[in-house]
Amino acid sequence: TCCAERSAIFAMVAAGEREVREVLVVGDTADALPPCGACRQRLREFAALDVPVHLAGLAGVIRTVTLADLLPLSFGPEFLGKEAVR
């Protein structure tokens, strides 16, 4: 399947944008809903490690973390000889 986060990133790139500045992940849950591993990696390709990621459920935003919190020791664009976001 293709999660909402990856679908949003694909649409962003198709529209000519290349940088994610903030993320909101919302689910039909009582607790905060974090992005899956595949979405975390895709976010890493288009977002800086300090980008805020808001985790929300039915009650609204429950917790805010950074991409670095969600994906420590991550593989990013800098390992491909490309400039990192920001």
Q: Are 29 and 58 in contact (CB under 8 A)?
A: yes
Contacts of residue 56, defined as CB under 8 A and 6 or more positions apart, other chains included, come to 24, 25, 26, 27, 32, 33, 62
Active site (annotated) includes residue 22: no
- CA dist., res. 26 & res. 14, Å (int): 23
**Catalytic option among 5, 17, 22, 45:** 5
Give the catalytic positions in this structure.
5
